[in-house]
Amino acid sequence: MTLTGRAVLLTLVGLLAIPLAPTLATAVVWLGVVALLVALDLALAARIRDVRLDRATLPPVHLLEDTESVLTVTNTGRRRARGVLRDAWQPSAGARLVHRVDLTPGDHATLSTPLRPTRRGDLRADRVTLRLLGPLGLAGRQRSVPLTGLLRVLPAFPSRRHLPGLLRHLQLLDGRAVVRLPGQGTEFDSLRDYVRGDDVRSIDWRATARRRAAVVRTWRPERDRHVVIVLDTSRTTAARIGDVPRLDAAMDAALLLTALATRGGDRVDVVAGDRVVRLVDPGGRGAAGHEDRLHRLIDALGPVDPSLVEANWSALAATTLDLAPRGALVVLLTPLEPVVVEETLLPALDALGARHTLVLASVRDPALPQLSGDGPTDVTPAPPTEESSPGRIGGGETDAEADHAFAAAAAAQALARRERTAAVLEGLGVTVLDRPPADLPVDLARTYLGLKERGLL
């Protein structure tokens, strides 16, 4: 049972009668009256078991999109059911509304709880708490009823707005918007007459002999290639860059590259894992059904969260080689952390680099250049105060200025280590992209287009 504020207020009203009859019997009689009214009100309240609750299935939504959880409440009893109802979800689901219920016998109502998820993954409803009050509003029955509910929150995919421009570039490479020229790509397209300025290495001598006129071959960028995206879900991807985890920013880049490469007729496979391989999502070939491919990948990446363990790059590399034995573009979406790269990633690069074209894409914290002094900074030294101790550091430098100097030195050291690690990887033939979250998806897509244009896939 539960008591309302009315019961407390009714009990306090009895204090007014004590000055008129200051005896123990007065207090006992008044408390007895209140207890009797509370018991009567509780007996007349509707029973929780007479209220049936049904939850509608929730479709998947993208991160930070608004949706709602719909409950159907039916009064199957003989008493009027009135009170309040709360649909409890995980805090990251953003459910805050408490509903008022007032149902006559046999009546039903549909209650909608607004949801605005702030975390990607599978969010679950805890339970539905129902409080039914009696006709006097003094007391009621309360119970929390387990009622399962699941909301799958998909990656936000904010870089999707760049896809139309990248597709236009891809159409130019594919020859659908401009005339193909000799030497572009390595996949044979057609023959045409030789004109001054053409590369003599493109002359087809057999066709020239048949026609008794110079004929050159034209080429087009490669189609039907194989792209494998390896998504690191280890502990280093759990760090937040602003309000977004590194893993979510890496997923954004993976989705944009998948959408672009699938439209270009390439096959895109996605592998995600840390200590164990957690997701292998093989894609089909060709541009047909590219929307279904993208939606399937978005749904598969929805429940993937970072794990606080180290990445097992040997297992991830073995899975990659099973999907693509040789000749593929392998994109490693992993943080450019020097220690992790030196201890676990470098051995796997030997096996992958001998058979594939490698690109390592890393999410960099945009605050590092700002703190190191290479970019604009929002840090303003605090003015001197009476509590500061001039002369203690640098002959008058304040504590805030000293903290800023230490932060700048640490940021500069971190950037230098990342640059040295990137140089080592590039020396091994790996293309390294170390970009902020907003720039990484587009730069990775342009790198793919550049490799495709130069015939390096």
Q: What is 395-411 written as a DSSP string?
A: TT--HHHHHHHHHHHHH
The whole-number pLDDT of residue 187 equals 58
* Average pLDDT for 331-336: 94
Strands (E), 306-366: 329-333, 357-363
Q: What is the CA radius of gyration of the chain?
A: 33
CB 274 within 8 A of CB 233: yes
Hey, which residues does 141 pair with through a beta bridge?
132
Return the amino acid letter for 349: L
Looking at per-residue pLDDT, the higher value among 240 and 380 belongs to: 240
Listed as own residue / partner, the contacts of 418-423 with beta carbons closer than 8 Å and 24 or more positions apart are 418/336, 418/338, 418/362, 418/364, 420/338, 421/336, 421/338, 421/341, 421/342, 422/336
Quickly state the pLDDT bin for 392 (edges 50, 70, 90): very low
The whole-number pLDDT of residue 249 equals 94
* Average pLDDT for 72-91: 93
Question: Residue 436: how many CA atoms within 13 Å on its side-chain side?
Answer: 10
CB 426 within 8 A of CB 146: no
Q: How far apart are the first and last CA of the chain?
A: 70
Quickly state the pLDDT bin for 220 (edges 50, 70, 90): low
* Average pLDDT for 141-149: 91
DSSP 328: -
pLDDT in tens, 265-276: 889 999 999 999
Quickly state the pLDDT bin for 387 (edges 50, 70, 90): very low
CB 170 within 8 A of CB 162: no
Quickly state the pLDDT bin for 202 (edges 50, 70, 90): confident
Question: What does each C-alpha distance from 337 to 32, 191, 212, 352, 402 come to in angstroms?
Answer: 72, 49, 61, 19, 27
Q: Give the whole-number percent of the chain exceeding pLDDT 70.
A: 88
Question: What does each C-alpha distance from 441 to 255, 267, 274, 406, 446 come to in angstroms?
Answer: 8, 19, 22, 32, 9
Query: Is pLDDT above 60 for 311?
Result: yes
Query: Is pLDDT above 80 for 382?
Result: no
CB 334 within 8 A of CB 311: yes
The whole-number pLDDT of residue 397 equals 56
The whole-number pLDDT of residue 375 equals 54
Query: Is pLDDT above 50 for 388?
Result: no
d(CA 250, CA 444): 11
Name the 3-class secondary structure at 41: helix
pTM to 2 decimal places = 0.77
Query: Is pLDDT above 60 for 92?
Result: yes
Query: Is pLDDT above 60 for 390?
Result: no
- 274 Cβ neighbours under 8 A, 6+ residues apart: 232, 233, 234, 235, 306, 307, 309, 310, 311, 312
d(CA 373, CA 405): 10
* Average pLDDT for 353-360: 92
d(CA 398, CA 383): 8
Name the 3-class secondary structure at 294: helix
Query: Is pLDDT above 50 for 380?
Result: no
Mean predicted lDDT score pLDDT of the chain: 85
d(CA 100, CA 103): 10
d(CA 320, CA 230): 8
Query: Is pLDDT above 70 for 109?
Result: yes
The whole-number pLDDT of residue 399 equals 77
Query: Is pLDDT above 70 for 308?
Result: yes
Quickly state the pLDDT bin for 194 (edges 50, 70, 90): confident
